[in-house]
Structure 1
Amino acid sequence: MEIQLISFGKISEFLHSQQLEIEGISDTDQLKAYLESNFLQLADLKYKLAVNKILIQENTHLNSGDSVAVMPPFSGG
């Protein structure tokens, strides 16, 4: 499966935006586990995921071609 990975803020310092070709990952929980095992800095941070520009709160199915944003905590102002 191919997904576009987009990172923001502090996370973009070590997790660069890129196209990922990954097999065996079908949802956001599996993607989080993959990212945290490959980018150990991410495991120690709080972050949110957005799939196709929609902020998610629970495990979400992924399709090939999806765009996933990895974002640090943020607040409104």
Structure 2
Amino acid sequence: MNHADFRLGGEFTTGSGKTWRCTDIGQRVIVAVCLDDHPDDASWYNGPPYAVVEYVFDEYDQEDCIPAPANPPHS
């Protein structure tokens, strides 16, 4: 992904297979929380401030990111 592709609250995956949510967009970096850390308790991702660690993705890290697929509608 390019820097301009990220949106606050938007989700993306990395080559490691983890899913992330964008929490801040800087001039050159993206900050995000990993949604795989506490999958059974969504309250960990209410913020800011967040109860989980926010990670910084620099321009090289961003190249490895892929937009998360949209959740299919419930039937």
Q: What TM-score, normalized by structure 2, do the two folds share?
A: 0.23
Higher helix share: 1
Q: What TM-score, normalized by structure 1, do the two folds share?
A: 0.23
